């Protein structure tokens, strides 16, 4: 039974809780949201680059910003 226990604890987060809060505050101060701007902010401020765009979208979601709101203008126009 001991050999079957899962010892994996998950990956260490790139951002601390304090850094995440700072990112959320920065996002809410912006007039519009753009994925590339978020990437640049994370690189400049925290030296963090995510491997997948999904991680950036998760930050938008946690900040309660939908992808549709993240676009600077309506894509249907």
Q: Kindly write down the DSSP assignment for every residue of 18-31, as one continuous string.
A: HHHHHHHHHHHH-S
Q: What pLDDT score does 21 carry?
A: 94
Is the pTM for the entire model greater than 0.75? no
Cα separations in angstroms, 2 against 6, 7, 16, 57, 72: 9, 10, 32, 38, 53
For the chain, 77 residues long, give each residue's pLDDT as a single digit of tens: 555 566 655 556 788 899 999 999 999 888 878 888 999 999 999 999 998 889 999 999 998 887 565 555 544 44
């Amino acid at each position: 039974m001991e050999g079957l226990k899962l010892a994996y604890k998950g990956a260490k987060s790139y951002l601390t809780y304090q850094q995440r809060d700072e990112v959320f505050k920065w996002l809410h101060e912006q007039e519009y949201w753009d994925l590339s701007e978020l990437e640049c902010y994370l690189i400049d401020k925290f030296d963090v680059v995510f491997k997948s765009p999904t991680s950036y979208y998760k930050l938008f979601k946690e900040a309660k910003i939908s992808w549709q709101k993240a676009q600077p203008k309506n894509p249907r126009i």
